[in-house]
Amino acid sequence: MSDRILEVEDLRITLDLGHRTITPVDGVSFTLGRGEALGIAGESGCGKSLTLKSIIGLLPPGARVDGELRFALDGEAPIAYEAGDVQGHGISIIFQEPMTALNPTMRVGDLIGEGPRIHEGLGRDAARIRAVELMRQVGIPTPERRARMWPHQLSGGLRQRVMIATALSTQPKLLLCDEPTTALDVSIQDQILGLLQGIRTRMGMSIVFVSHDLAVLGELCDRLAIMYAGRIVETGPVDEVFADPKHPYTEALMRSVPSFGASTGKLAGIAGRPPDPRAFPPGCRFAPRCRYAQEDCTSAPHRLAETAPGRATACIHPESLEGVE
Protein backbone atom coordinates (compact mmCIF):
# COMPACT_ATOMS: atom_id res chain seq x y z
CA MET A 1 0.00 0.00 0.00
CA SER A 2 1.24 3.47 -0.87
CA ASP A 3 1.95 5.72 2.10
CA ARG A 4 0.40 8.63 0.16
CA ILE A 5 -3.29 9.42 0.15
CA LEU A 6 -3.23 12.60 -1.96
CA GLU A 7 -0.99 13.91 -4.74
CA VAL A 8 -1.34 17.39 -6.23
CA GLU A 9 0.91 18.03 -9.21
CA ASP A 10 1.37 21.29 -11.12
CA LEU A 11 -2.09 22.57 -10.15
CA ARG A 12 -3.22 25.67 -12.02
CA ILE A 13 -6.54 27.39 -11.44
CA THR A 14 -7.71 29.94 -13.99
CA LEU A 15 -10.68 32.19 -13.28
CA ASP A 16 -12.69 33.74 -16.10
CA LEU A 17 -13.71 37.24 -15.00
CA GLY A 18 -15.49 38.02 -18.25
CA HIS A 19 -13.23 40.79 -19.51
CA ARG A 20 -10.04 38.98 -18.47
CA THR A 21 -8.70 35.75 -17.01
CA ILE A 22 -6.36 35.38 -14.06
CA THR A 23 -4.38 32.44 -12.64
CA PRO A 24 -4.44 32.86 -8.84
CA VAL A 25 -3.02 29.34 -8.30
CA ASP A 26 -0.04 28.67 -10.53
CA GLY A 27 1.89 25.40 -10.51
CA VAL A 28 1.17 24.13 -6.98
CA SER A 29 2.48 20.65 -6.12
CA PHE A 30 2.46 18.70 -2.85
CA THR A 31 1.75 15.26 -1.41
CA LEU A 32 -0.06 14.09 1.72
CA GLY A 33 0.65 10.92 3.65
CA ARG A 34 -1.92 8.65 5.27
CA GLY A 35 -2.74 9.99 8.72
CA GLU A 36 -0.66 13.12 8.13
CA ALA A 37 -1.72 16.73 8.74
CA LEU A 38 -0.42 19.31 6.26
CA GLY A 39 -0.80 23.02 6.93
CA ILE A 40 -0.98 25.55 4.09
CA ALA A 41 -0.09 29.07 5.24
CA GLY A 42 0.09 32.45 3.59
CA GLU A 43 -1.46 35.90 3.36
CA SER A 44 -5.08 36.42 2.35
CA GLY A 45 -5.51 36.06 -1.40
CA CYS A 46 -2.48 33.83 -1.97
CA GLY A 47 -4.59 30.94 -3.29
CA LYS A 48 -4.84 28.73 -0.19
CA SER A 49 -8.61 28.29 -0.17
CA LEU A 50 -8.85 27.90 -3.95
CA THR A 51 -6.27 25.11 -3.76
CA LEU A 52 -8.29 23.40 -1.05
CA LYS A 53 -11.60 23.72 -2.88
CA SER A 54 -10.10 22.37 -6.11
CA ILE A 55 -9.31 19.10 -4.31
CA ILE A 56 -12.99 18.46 -3.62
CA GLY A 57 -14.37 20.17 -6.72
CA LEU A 58 -16.03 23.21 -5.13
CA LEU A 59 -14.51 25.98 -7.22
CA PRO A 60 -16.75 28.83 -8.39
CA PRO A 61 -18.32 28.91 -11.86
CA GLY A 62 -15.88 29.99 -14.53
CA ALA A 63 -12.90 28.29 -12.88
CA ARG A 64 -10.73 25.95 -14.90
CA VAL A 65 -8.39 23.42 -13.29
CA ASP A 66 -5.25 22.14 -14.99
CA GLY A 67 -2.72 19.72 -13.56
CA GLU A 68 -3.07 16.39 -11.77
CA LEU A 69 -5.12 15.55 -8.68
CA ARG A 70 -4.78 11.99 -7.42
CA PHE A 71 -6.45 10.40 -4.38
CA ALA A 72 -6.36 6.92 -2.85
CA LEU A 73 -10.11 6.44 -3.01
CA ASP A 74 -10.50 2.66 -2.92
CA GLY A 75 -7.20 1.28 -4.15
CA GLU A 76 -3.77 1.18 -2.60
CA ALA A 77 -2.23 4.03 -4.59
CA PRO A 78 -3.58 7.50 -5.45
CA ILE A 79 -5.31 7.69 -8.83
CA ALA A 80 -6.85 10.53 -10.86
CA TYR A 81 -10.44 11.26 -9.91
CA GLU A 82 -13.47 13.42 -10.65
CA ALA A 83 -14.98 15.64 -7.96
CA GLY A 84 -18.15 13.53 -7.85
CA ASP A 85 -16.08 10.46 -7.02
CA VAL A 86 -14.86 11.83 -3.69
CA GLN A 87 -17.59 14.16 -2.40
CA GLY A 88 -19.16 12.09 0.35
CA HIS A 89 -16.98 9.10 -0.59
CA GLY A 90 -13.60 9.84 0.89
CA ILE A 91 -13.08 13.62 1.18
CA SER A 92 -15.02 16.09 3.33
CA ILE A 93 -14.54 19.79 3.99
CA ILE A 94 -15.08 22.17 6.92
CA PHE A 95 -15.58 25.84 6.12
CA GLN A 96 -14.65 28.97 8.02
CA GLU A 97 -18.15 30.27 8.77
CA PRO A 98 -20.76 27.60 9.59
CA MET A 99 -23.71 30.01 9.41
CA THR A 100 -23.12 30.45 5.68
CA ALA A 101 -22.36 26.75 5.13
CA LEU A 102 -25.18 25.17 7.15
CA ASN A 103 -28.66 25.15 5.61
CA PRO A 104 -30.75 27.42 7.87
CA THR A 105 -33.99 25.65 6.87
CA MET A 106 -32.89 22.25 8.21
CA ARG A 107 -32.68 21.10 11.81
CA VAL A 108 -29.22 20.19 13.06
CA GLY A 109 -29.88 16.45 13.21
CA ASP A 110 -31.18 16.41 9.63
CA LEU A 111 -28.15 18.37 8.43
CA ILE A 112 -25.73 15.86 9.92
CA GLY A 113 -27.77 12.86 8.79
CA GLU A 114 -28.17 14.04 5.20
CA GLY A 115 -24.83 12.58 4.06
CA PRO A 116 -25.52 9.04 5.31
CA ARG A 117 -29.02 9.18 3.83
CA ILE A 118 -27.73 10.19 0.40
CA HIS A 119 -24.55 8.13 0.23
CA GLU A 120 -25.45 5.09 2.34
CA GLY A 121 -29.18 4.92 1.80
CA LEU A 122 -30.02 5.14 5.52
CA GLY A 123 -33.63 5.76 6.48
CA ARG A 124 -34.63 8.89 8.37
CA ASP A 125 -34.64 7.21 11.80
CA ALA A 126 -31.27 5.50 11.28
CA ALA A 127 -29.75 8.74 9.99
CA ARG A 128 -31.05 10.61 13.03
CA ILE A 129 -29.48 8.03 15.36
CA ARG A 130 -26.17 8.38 13.46
CA ALA A 131 -26.41 12.18 13.75
CA VAL A 132 -26.93 12.11 17.52
CA GLU A 133 -23.99 9.76 17.99
CA LEU A 134 -21.76 11.99 15.87
CA MET A 135 -22.83 15.02 17.87
CA ARG A 136 -21.86 13.16 21.02
CA GLN A 137 -18.47 12.25 19.51
CA VAL A 138 -17.66 15.89 18.71
CA GLY A 139 -18.55 17.02 22.21
CA ILE A 140 -21.98 18.62 21.75
CA PRO A 141 -23.81 18.47 25.10
CA THR A 142 -27.34 16.94 25.23
CA PRO A 143 -27.17 15.96 21.55
CA GLU A 144 -30.69 14.53 21.47
CA ARG A 145 -32.14 17.93 22.35
CA ARG A 146 -29.80 19.96 20.15
CA ALA A 147 -30.43 17.68 17.15
CA ARG A 148 -33.93 19.18 17.05
CA MET A 149 -32.62 22.76 17.01
CA TRP A 150 -31.99 25.09 14.07
CA PRO A 151 -28.41 26.28 13.35
CA HIS A 152 -29.15 29.85 14.45
CA GLN A 153 -30.08 28.58 17.92
CA LEU A 154 -26.53 27.35 18.59
CA SER A 155 -23.41 29.27 19.57
CA GLY A 156 -20.55 29.74 17.10
CA GLY A 157 -18.50 26.99 18.75
CA LEU A 158 -21.38 24.52 18.67
CA ARG A 159 -22.16 25.37 15.04
CA GLN A 160 -18.55 24.59 14.15
CA ARG A 161 -18.87 21.26 15.94
CA VAL A 162 -21.99 20.59 13.88
CA MET A 163 -19.93 21.31 10.76
CA ILE A 164 -17.30 18.81 11.92
CA ALA A 165 -19.95 16.19 12.68
CA THR A 166 -21.45 16.75 9.22
CA ALA A 167 -18.03 16.34 7.61
CA LEU A 168 -17.42 13.12 9.56
CA SER A 169 -20.85 11.66 8.79
CA THR A 170 -19.59 10.02 5.58
CA GLN A 171 -16.46 8.59 7.27
CA PRO A 172 -13.89 10.41 5.08
CA LYS A 173 -10.26 9.43 4.70
CA LEU A 174 -9.27 13.06 4.11
CA LEU A 175 -10.60 16.13 5.90
CA LEU A 176 -10.08 19.57 4.33
CA CYS A 177 -10.20 22.50 6.76
CA ASP A 178 -10.67 25.99 5.33
CA GLU A 179 -9.72 28.25 8.26
CA PRO A 180 -12.39 26.68 10.53
CA THR A 181 -11.22 28.42 13.71
CA THR A 182 -10.72 31.97 12.42
CA ALA A 183 -14.12 33.30 13.58
CA LEU A 184 -13.91 31.71 17.05
CA ASP A 185 -12.51 33.13 20.26
CA VAL A 186 -9.24 31.71 21.54
CA SER A 187 -10.67 29.27 24.10
CA ILE A 188 -13.19 27.78 21.64
CA GLN A 189 -10.49 27.69 18.97
CA ASP A 190 -8.31 25.60 21.24
CA GLN A 191 -11.19 23.20 21.89
CA ILE A 192 -11.84 22.75 18.16
CA LEU A 193 -8.15 22.10 17.44
CA GLY A 194 -8.03 19.52 20.24
CA LEU A 195 -11.15 17.90 18.82
CA LEU A 196 -9.65 17.68 15.33
CA GLN A 197 -6.40 16.26 16.69
CA GLY A 198 -8.32 13.62 18.64
CA ILE A 199 -10.44 12.68 15.61
CA ARG A 200 -7.34 12.42 13.46
CA THR A 201 -5.63 10.12 15.96
CA ARG A 202 -8.71 7.96 16.55
CA MET A 203 -9.69 7.58 12.89
CA GLY A 204 -6.24 7.67 11.27
CA MET A 205 -7.56 10.44 9.04
CA SER A 206 -5.43 12.78 6.93
CA ILE A 207 -5.94 16.55 7.15
CA VAL A 208 -5.11 19.55 4.98
CA PHE A 209 -5.54 22.66 7.12
CA VAL A 210 -5.52 26.10 5.50
CA SER A 211 -4.85 29.12 7.72
CA HIS A 212 -2.99 32.41 7.95
CA ASP A 213 -2.43 31.68 11.67
CA LEU A 214 0.96 30.01 12.10
CA ALA A 215 0.29 29.22 15.77
CA VAL A 216 -2.77 27.17 14.82
CA LEU A 217 -0.84 25.26 12.17
CA GLY A 218 2.02 24.65 14.57
CA GLU A 219 -0.36 23.03 17.05
CA LEU A 220 -2.10 20.68 14.64
CA CYS A 221 0.12 19.96 11.65
CA ASP A 222 3.14 17.77 10.89
CA ARG A 223 4.31 19.63 7.78
CA LEU A 224 3.92 23.11 6.35
CA ALA A 225 3.55 24.43 2.83
CA ILE A 226 4.04 28.21 2.63
CA MET A 227 2.18 29.93 -0.23
CA TYR A 228 2.81 33.31 -1.78
CA ALA A 229 1.08 34.81 -4.82
CA GLY A 230 -0.36 31.52 -6.03
CA ARG A 231 2.77 29.42 -5.55
CA ILE A 232 4.28 27.26 -2.84
CA VAL A 233 7.61 28.78 -1.85
CA GLU A 234 8.69 26.47 0.98
CA THR A 235 7.82 23.07 2.46
CA GLY A 236 9.06 21.09 5.41
CA PRO A 237 8.29 19.68 8.87
CA VAL A 238 6.57 22.29 11.05
CA ASP A 239 9.26 22.48 13.74
CA GLU A 240 12.07 22.79 11.19
CA VAL A 241 10.34 25.49 9.15
CA PHE A 242 9.61 27.49 12.30
CA ALA A 243 13.16 27.14 13.62
CA ASP A 244 15.05 27.61 10.36
CA PRO A 245 13.05 29.10 7.45
CA LYS A 246 14.65 28.70 4.03
CA HIS A 247 12.65 31.30 2.09
CA PRO A 248 12.64 35.06 2.81
CA TYR A 249 8.84 35.16 2.78
CA THR A 250 8.65 32.43 5.42
CA GLU A 251 11.24 34.27 7.48
CA ALA A 252 9.25 37.49 7.17
CA LEU A 253 6.08 35.72 8.28
CA MET A 254 7.87 34.38 11.35
CA ARG A 255 9.18 37.83 12.26
CA SER A 256 5.68 39.31 12.02
CA VAL A 257 4.19 36.91 14.59
CA PRO A 258 4.07 38.29 18.17
CA SER A 259 5.79 36.19 20.84
CA PHE A 260 4.30 35.82 24.29
CA GLY A 261 6.56 37.40 26.89
CA ALA A 262 8.63 39.25 24.31
CA SER A 263 9.70 42.84 24.97
CA THR A 264 7.25 45.47 23.83
CA GLY A 265 7.76 47.20 20.53
CA LYS A 266 6.54 47.26 16.96
CA LEU A 267 6.08 44.00 15.10
CA ALA A 268 8.27 43.47 12.06
CA GLY A 269 5.76 43.76 9.24
CA ILE A 270 6.35 42.87 5.60
CA ALA A 271 6.95 45.94 3.47
CA GLY A 272 4.89 46.49 0.34
CA ARG A 273 1.89 44.53 -0.88
CA PRO A 274 1.33 41.16 -2.55
CA PRO A 275 1.35 41.42 -6.36
CA ASP A 276 -1.83 41.84 -8.36
CA PRO A 277 -2.82 38.41 -9.81
CA ARG A 278 -3.64 40.20 -13.08
CA ALA A 279 0.04 41.07 -13.50
CA PHE A 280 2.36 38.82 -11.53
CA PRO A 281 6.02 39.88 -11.82
CA PRO A 282 8.54 37.58 -13.53
CA GLY A 283 10.90 35.42 -11.54
CA CYS A 284 10.40 35.31 -7.79
CA ARG A 285 7.08 36.98 -7.01
CA PHE A 286 8.30 37.97 -3.54
CA ALA A 287 11.39 39.75 -4.89
CA PRO A 288 9.84 43.28 -4.86
CA ARG A 289 9.25 42.93 -1.08
CA CYS A 290 12.33 40.88 -0.21
CA ARG A 291 15.17 42.46 1.76
CA TYR A 292 17.61 39.88 0.37
CA ALA A 293 16.63 40.24 -3.32
CA GLN A 294 19.39 40.19 -5.90
CA GLU A 295 19.35 41.07 -9.58
CA ASP A 296 18.82 37.51 -10.80
CA CYS A 297 15.79 36.98 -8.50
CA THR A 298 13.55 38.83 -10.96
CA SER A 299 14.38 36.53 -13.85
CA ALA A 300 15.09 33.12 -12.30
CA PRO A 301 12.33 30.51 -12.81
CA HIS A 302 10.25 29.48 -9.81
CA ARG A 303 11.16 25.95 -8.79
CA LEU A 304 11.10 24.22 -5.41
CA ALA A 305 14.53 22.70 -4.75
CA GLU A 306 15.42 20.32 -1.94
CA THR A 307 17.74 21.76 0.69
CA ALA A 308 17.67 18.75 3.05
CA PRO A 309 15.59 15.57 3.37
CA GLY A 310 11.98 16.70 3.61
CA ARG A 311 12.84 20.42 3.09
CA ALA A 312 12.45 22.45 -0.07
CA THR A 313 12.53 26.14 -0.99
CA ALA A 314 11.93 28.18 -4.12
CA CYS A 315 14.54 30.77 -3.09
CA ILE A 316 17.64 30.69 -5.31
CA HIS A 317 19.71 32.38 -2.57
CA PRO A 318 18.75 30.51 0.63
CA GLU A 319 22.24 31.16 2.00
CA SER A 320 21.19 34.79 2.45
CA LEU A 321 19.12 33.75 5.47
CA GLU A 322 21.92 31.92 7.26
CA GLY A 323 22.76 33.49 10.59
CA VAL A 324 20.03 36.14 10.33
CA GLU A 325 18.37 37.04 13.62
Task: Check whether 300 has a pLDDT greater than 90.
Answer: no
Report which of residues 44 and 208 the model is more confident about. 208
3-state helix, strand, coil in the chain (%, to 5): 35, 25, 40
Burial of 121 (0-12, 13-18, 19+ CB in 10 A): exposed
- Amino acid type, 256: S
- At 286 the three-state DSSP class reads coil
Question: Which band of pLDDT confidence, cut at 50, 70 and 90, is reported for residue 17?
Answer: confident
What are the tens digits of pLDDT across the range 112-168?
999 999 988 899 999 999 999 999 999 999 999 999 999 999 998 999 999 999 999
Rounded mean pLDDT of the chain?
90
**175: which strand partners?**
92, 207
What are the tens digits of pLDDT across the range 159-218?
999 999 999 999 999 999 999 888 788 888 889 999 999 999 998 999 999 998 898 999
- At 315 the three-state DSSP class reads coil
Segments making up each domain of the chain, as ranges: 35-63+82-90+173-325, 98-171
Report which of residues 278 and 315 the model is more confident about. 315
Task: Please check whether residue 277 is in contact with residue 229, taking contact to mean a CB–CB distance below 8 angstroms.
Answer: yes
What are the tens digits of pLDDT across the range 205-254?
999 999 988 989 999 999 999 999 999 999 999 999 999 999 999 999 98
The total number of residues shown for the chain amounts to: 325
Distance CA 184, CA 49 (A): 18
Burial of 192 (0-12, 13-18, 19+ CB in 10 A): buried
Domain 35-63+82-90+173-325: CATH architecture, name and number where available = 3-Layer(aba) Sandwich (3.40)
- Amino acid type, 32: L
Task: Check whether 85 has a pLDDT greater than 90.
Answer: no
Average pLDDT over residues 55-84: 89
